Amino acid sequence: MYYIAGLTLGLPSSSQALEGLAVFTTFRYTQYIVSSVHAIVPVANAEAGPIRSTPTSLIGKFIFLIHDLSFFIPPVTYILCVTFNHFVQPAWMQRMSLPDNYFQHETEVGLRVAACALTFVIRKFSGRIFKHLGNQWHAIGRREKPRVVQTGPYAVVRHPLYMSVLIQGVLFTLMFWSYVPLVVLGITAGAFAVKVPIEEDLIMKDPAIAGEYRAYMQKVPARIIPFLW
C-alpha cells in the first residue's frame, strides 16, 4: 500500500509487476502461435490440398495431441491462475518454484526479464518459420500437393518449429521460475522423438517427394537441434 495526499493506493509491488510482465509475454506468445496456425490452415488446404495420408498406428494418431497439450497447458494455467490471484503466484504454484538459494534476487529478476525479452525473439523466429513453411503446414500427415521446404530455418534443421517450441519451454521455465515447464519440456521432447520418425516415414512413402526428401536429409542431417539431434 502507498499513501499519497491522504489517499491509500494499492499500487502493484515489484514482484507483481514481474509476474504481470511474464503473464503479458506468455499471453502474447500463445496468442500469436494460435492465431498463426488458425490463419495458415485454410491457406494450406486451399493451395496444397487436404491431408491425404495420416499415421495408422495408435500412437501416431495421438502424438500430436500429446505434445500440443503438454506445451500449452502450463502457460494457459499460469496466465489464468496468476491473473486471477492479483498477479501473485498461488501457494501451490510457489511450491514448484526453482530454488532461490543459488541466485541473488536481482539475478532471478534479470533472468526472468531476459526470458520475457527472448520470447519476443522466438515469436519473431516462429513467424519466419511459418512464412517459409507456408501451405505445407499440417498437424501430422502429407498433403495432396506435397513440397519439400528447404529455405530459411529449414536449411539448418528439418523441423525448426519443434526447435522453437523446445527453446520456448526453457524460457517458460525461467519466466515462471518453476520446475513445471522443465518437466513438460521433457514430455514434449519425448513426443517429438516419437513424432518426427513417423512424419518422415510418411514423407518417404510418397514417391513424388521421397527422392528429394532423401537428398534433403543428407544435406540437412539435424532434425531439431543443430549438431545434436
Give the DSSP letter string of 82-150.
HHHTTSS--HHHHTTBPPSTTS-HHHHHHHHHHHHHHHHHHHHHHHHHHHHHGGG--SSSEESS-----
All cell numbers assigned to 141:
500427415
Query: Residue 102, Cα to own-chain centre: how many angstroms?
Result: 27
Q: Would you state the pLDDT for residue 194?
A: 94
pTM for this one? 0.90
Name residue 178's beta-bridge partners. 97
Q: Would you state the pLDDT for residue 12?
A: 59
Rounded Cα gap, residues 166 and 226, in angstroms: 13
Residue with cell 514423407: 203
10-residue block means of pLDDT along the chain (229 residues)? 41 84 97 95 93 86 88 94 96 93 87 97 97 91 92 97 96 96 94 94 92 96 93
Rounded Cα gap, residues 217 and 200, in angstroms: 10
CA dihedral of 227, 66, 68, 46, whole degrees rounded to 10? 100
Q: Would you state the pLDDT for residue 6?
A: 41
